[in-house]
Structure 1
Amino acid sequence: MPWIPIKSADKLLSSQILKLPEGKVLRVESFKGDRWFEVKRNGEEFEFSEHGYRNVVFKVKKEEVKETVKRIIEVEFPRSHQLRVSLSS
């Protein structure tokens, strides 16, 4: 899943994050690659790492994933039309 449209990004990313296996990292970045966030699963919690306008690391529960993804997209990618998505270990 290399490029996804920003309009449907929150739904697509939320479903991918909830299915994320332990030890894998989902990275979402802007076209230029200067702003990004990564998500890593730790049991029932998900660790989000933002890099761009805000440089923070925090954990959320399964129920908060969709809201968190939507908020991060609004903050980190306000003018983007597409996002690059990659999965690594």
Structure 2
Amino acid sequence: MAWLSARSAEKMVYGQLTKLSTGKTLRVESFKGDRWIEVKKISEDEFLVTEKGYNNVTFSVNLPQLRQTLKKIFEDEFPRSHQLRITTTS
């Protein structure tokens, strides 16, 4: 588990997702752990995004849409967070 500044999280998460192996999942949680997002890499350019907290939804996005989607999710789910926890699972 790594703690990351919320200001740099969006850019860092996007970079890690592009390098992630197919089938792996990246999870970003708030400090309290009550809000989180999971992004699973399904194929080279398709991701399954699960959002739990303010919105409880699951949807699929492709690589060109991923950066804009992450930006919107981070604004909605982590509006006042200063630190976020990032974990990678299989």
TM-score of the two chains, using structure 1 as the length reference: 0.96
TM-score of the two chains, using structure 2 as the length reference: 0.95
> How many residue pairs were aligned?
89
Q: Aligned-pair distance for 1:65?
A: 1.0
Structure 1 unaligned runs (5+)?
A: none
SS at 1:9 equivalent: helix
Matched, 1:46 2:47: yes
**What is the Cα-based RMSD across aligned positions, in Å?**
0.9
Q: Aligned-pair distance for 1:27?
A: 0.3
Deviation per CA, 1:8-56, whole angstroms, max 9, x where unpaired?
A: 1111011111111112110000000000000001112100000000000
Deviation per CA, 1:36-83, whole angstroms, max 9, x where unpaired?
A: 000001112100000000000001110111111111110000000010
Structure 2 unaligned runs (5+)?
A: none
Matches within 5 A, 1:3-42: 3-42=3-42
SS at 2:85 equivalent: strand
Counterpart CA distance in 1 for 2:47 and 2:63 is 7
